[in-house]
Chains A and B, each alone.
Chain A
Amino acid sequence: MSISNKQELITFLKRLLSLKENQQRREIINIQKLILEGDILLQDVDNEELALFLYDLDYYEPDENLRKEFSFFGNKELEKRIKEYLCELENSRLIT
């Protein structure tokens, strides 16, 4: 996986929306590893906001039975959050 700027991030998130549950979960783990654990900072993106967005996504749990163990969120909420963040991304003009 390689993402280095806003446009690539938008493309990734749009593709994420079209994936199946388990694939979504795997892709989220991958991008979390890339952004949160790596040194990478995306161009034209508020990287603090991105880190928080990805941190919050860790409370996504596709399995309904596992969701009951805590207030994890499911697919609808995941879709809502991704769309909201996409909207923010597309409307943002970062001044650095």
Chain B
Amino acid sequence: MLPAKRLLTLLFCALYFFEVTFADSLIVQAAVSLAANNLDIGKTLEQLATVDTLKSMAIAGGTAGITRGISDKVGMKVPGDKSFDLLDRMKYNMLKSGVGFGTRTAIDGGKVVQNLVVDGVGGLVDTGLGHVAEKIGDAYKGVPNEGGTDGVQGTPRISSLTHKGLHGLAGGVAGGLKGAVKAAVTGDDVGQAALSSVVSGAFGSVVTEIVAEAYESRIQEKVTDEIVDELLNAGETIDQEAFEALVNDRYLAAVEEERETIGKVSKLATVGLSFGLGIDPQTAIDTGSTTLENNFIPHLVVGAVWAGGIAWTAYDTYKAYQDGGAAGALKSLAVDGVIAVVTGGAMKLGGKIVKPLAKGAWQYGKTVFPTAEKALEAVVQDNKIFGKIFSRLSSKSEKQVVQKTVTTELKTVSTNIEQNVVETSVKSGEKSGCKVVIEEERSLAVVSSRNFTRHALERMEERKITTTMVDKALSKGRTFWDQKNNVINYVLDEGFASGKSLIVGQDPVTKNITTVIPVKAKKVEAMLKRMTEVRP
């Protein structure tokens, strides 16, 4: 065995060279020790300080880091890369086993043949588990096209519960095999070790999948918001291809940003949940990591491929919805081929193959959905990303349109007033008493830019409000957006001799006056709390 100082120097050089951090294995080892010592922190710290524990940490950290480092340096494909096939998986796992064997033998010593058998079989089992995990993922989320990032075909064939159950089964078999082989070469009870490892392996796979799925929603949430902003800002000026590329990049960046965190949280959750259950945390973590690498991360990356296509479709559908209502939106979806297929399978959309949305929505008009609105609702609810983008586009866009209308309207009023002030100033050079003339002209300027609804005229008559008072409110009042009633309110503070204020409502689109309400000055502010003050 190598002397300790030489060993540590070698290890840290390797860690530095391959840019590996020690923290990950330290955290996991601490959690494993804590579990083994029934949450006794004193004993855990004692154990962490022992040579065996340090060796174990060095092996775990070193193996993971050096494997990653070598694959980076030689350009080897890793799980999650494009077209990562069975042969690539075999190469990757054998590299990992080889590094594991070397690190274990160098640090821990022991019998070379024993280590070789344990790590060699471990590599083969991990290859098998990885392959099975990927197939389970395909059945759950759809199949990546050849080339990895050219699209997705197929529809989910298994439920979430079946998906977790199958991962548990695969993880259990893999854990059991590894445990049995290790027990056989070390002379332990093979049956007992296999049984314990089956349970631990299954546990690790299931917990990891559950944690990872929770993160998937978080990533989708984050990317969806960015997509919606991008769509609304870019609008007509961006073409579909450029937009899809942008969305894909965003999605991939978000996955990349979160993948390490997902791994760490999954490990800690596995260890944390294994407290008191008689689960071997290390076996659970190992199978969980293999499941994560081979199933979850590749399928997340695949998700990015069709996120762009779905986002663009949502935008197209939204525009069609604005023009032709729900029926128009459905027609647009049908033209795109999104709801034309009812039996699952692949379909073409804007150069990409995507999963069909709402299998049954196309049956609109064939008794399933009584109205176009209901059918569109089914489409929106049936696809998570599409639904989120469509809904947020609707709400965000509505706010922007309203804001734009209000701003434009106020600018128009302001311009009218300014123009009349200039005209009046010219006139005032010819006449005396120009102040009065200016007031009159300003009012007239606004009068020409508004009409009254008959409802407003009746209110004015009942409340003894003159057009001059309305115009004064329009020209001098504070302006507030009342989103509940969709009007701009002009508030003329204490505009009456009695000290009352006047609220004049105006439709921002038609400019028609909608109503006039006199209100006691001290009660106005309370009412305005619900509204948003807008300035020209």
- Which residues in A have some Cβ–Cβ distance to B below 8 Å? 29, 32-33, 36-39, 47-48, 51-52, 55-56, 58-59, 61, 66, 69-72
Contacts and interface: CB of A to CB of B under 8 A. Distances in A.
B527 A59 contact: no
B517 A55 contact: yes
B153 interface: no
B462 A36 contact: no
B520 A38 contact: yes
Given A36-B517, A61-B455, A70-B512, 11 more contacts: A36-B520, A37-B500, A48-B529, A51-B519, A52-B526, A55-B517, A58-B505, A59-B515, A66-B455, A69-B455, A71-B485
A55 B527 contact: yes
Contact of B485 (A32, A47, A56): A56
Given A36-B523, A37-B518, A69 B512 contact: yes
B49 to A, nearest CB: 59
B299 to A, nearest CB: 47
A14 B512 CA distance: 33
A51 B526 contact: yes
Nearest to B509: A70
B465 to A, nearest CB: 12
Given A55-B517, A59-B515, A70 B453 contact: yes
Contacts of B530: 52
Consensus secondary structure, chain B interface: mixed
Contacts of A59: 485, 514-515
**By CB atoms of chain B within 10 A, which of A36, A51, A70, A71 has the most?**
A70
A52 B520 contact: no
B218 interface: no
Interface in B471-522: 484-486, 500, 503, 505, 507, 510, 512, 514-515, 517-520
B331 interface: no
B520 A37 contact: yes
Interface in B434-474: 453-455, 459, 462-463
11 contacts: A37-B519, A48-B526, A55-B503, A58-B505, A58-B515, A58-B517, A66-B455, A69-B453, A70-B514, A72-B455, A72-B514
Contacts of B500: 37
A36 to B, nearest CB: 5
Nearest to A72: B455
Contact of A56 (B454, B455, B459, B484): B484
Interface in B15-37: none
Contacts of B459: 58
A21 to B, nearest CB: 14
Interface of B: 453-455, 459, 462-463, 484-486, 500, 503, 505, 507, 510, 512, 514-515, 517-520, 523, 526-527, 529-530
A63 B229 CA distance: 42
Contacts of A39: 520
Contacts of A51: 519, 523, 526-527
Contacts of B463: 33
A36 B519 contact: yes
Nearest to B529: A48
B374 to A, nearest CB: 22
A35 to B, nearest CB: 8
A36 B518 contact: yes
5 A-B pairs with least C-beta separation: A48-B526, A69-B453, A36-B519, A58-B515, A70-B514
B520 A66 contact: no
A69 B462 CA distance: 19
A33 B464 CA distance: 12
A66 B527 contact: no
Nearest to B526: A48
Nearest to A32: B517
A55 B523 CA distance: 11
Contact of A52 (B507, B515, B518, B527): B527
Nearest to A58: B515
Nearest to A36: B519
A52 B484 CA distance: 11
Most buried by B among A33, A55, A66: A55
B398 to A, nearest CB: 14
B527 to A, nearest CB: 5
Contacts of B455: 61, 66, 69-70, 72
B462 to A, nearest CB: 6
Contacts of A61: 455
Nearest to B510: A70
B116 to A, nearest CB: 75
A56 to B, nearest CB: 7
B453 A66 contact: yes
A66 B459 CA distance: 13
A78 B237 CA distance: 44
A38 B527 CA distance: 15
A69 B454 contact: yes
A70 B523 CA distance: 26
Nearest to B489: A55
A71 B484 CA distance: 11
A37 B464 CA distance: 13
A29 B515 contact: no
A56 B455 CA distance: 14
A48 B525 CA distance: 9
B462 A29 contact: yes
